Structure 1
Amino acid sequence: MLEIGMTAPDFHAESTEGPVRLYDDYKGKKNVILIFYPINNTPGCRKQLCDARDAQPDYEQLDTAVLGINPGKFAGHQKFTAKHNFGFPLVFDDRWQIVANYHVPTFSGMMVARTVLIVDKDMKVRYINKGMPSTQELITAIKEINESSQSL
């Protein structure tokens, strides 16, 4: 697993909103919440991603974007997004390369363990949670990241 303070690995991947390039799209511009989730359209994943959708206005005010990442089928990502109108990209990690580069735990190599990271504008990992943190916990972490960045 990556550790706090490490540089986040760059990635280029397809998503439900077109190509995503972590460094090109976000470096120097926005913090990024990376939500690695197990399976499209299961109750826990639906709750987690719908919570992120509902908190998007708060995240945007804090210069923070959201990316959901999962190695599931691209068509499944599209259906899941259409059904819940997420408003943020679900990244298609078909070769499990992003999962591997971020050292996200898996269950027998068959399913991603729910993991949330926050990467700051300098592409440093600033927060890691192996679970489903609340929206308030994420907002608090982002505020701390933004405050510490301003004091540098």
Structure 2
Amino acid sequence: MSIKVGDKAPDFTLPKQDGTPANLKELLQKSAVVLYFYPKDDTPGCTKEACSFRDSYEAFKDAGAEVVGISSQSAASHEAFAAKYRLPFTLVSDEGGKVRSQYGVPSTLGLLPGRVTYVIDRDGTVRHVFNSQLNATRHVTEALNIVKQLTGKTAN
């Protein structure tokens, strides 16, 4: 069952790229969260998506949201990926795909882990879901527009 707009986002605690825990409930105490599931570190589409989030990161922060990327690679893989592309946001390791399953992120052709972005307000309610395996950079545009609508803040 997929998480839809209006649903409560399932809470999770997963290791960040530096090995420390990231907890969704704690993140939401500070800001809205843009949670994006992506297939794999350092692949062409995922790198393009991550760099697009990186390039818009200040706009997300100005609009009142934190960006969190999530995939099944290890924290060490995330750390190398983040360092290579100077990613300023958190990447969390969902080894085994438990959180991916809780959110109901579909696979593409039954093989590739899906690419889905959720915008979650500070109350933990999902306000937007965007699912597109091939249009990686559109995830950033969609999410930023929704965050601006939610928070009433305009980003620079």
TM-score relative to the length of structure 1: 0.89
How far off is 1:108 after superposition?
Answer: 6.5
- Residue in 2 aligned with 1:19? 21
Gapped runs of 5+ residues in structure 1?
Answer: 148-152
| Residue identity matched to 2:140 | T
Q: CA RMSD in A?
A: 1.6
The C-alpha deviation readout for 1:48-101, integer Å capped at 9, x for no partner, is: 001101111100111100000001233221211110110111100012111011
Runs of 4+ in 1 over 6 A off after TM superposition: none
The C-alpha deviation readout for 1:94-142, integer Å capped at 9, x for no partner, is: 1211101111112466532111111011110001000232533322111
Gapped runs of 5+ residues in structure 2?
Answer: none
- Residue in 1 aligned with 2:142? 137
Bigger shift: 14-23 or 118-127? 14-23
TM-score relative to the length of structure 2: 0.86
Aligned residue for 1:13, secondary structure, equals: strand
Aligned length: 146
Aligned residue for 1:57, secondary structure, equals: helix
Mapping for residues 75-90 of structure 1, pairs under 5 Å: 75-90=76-91
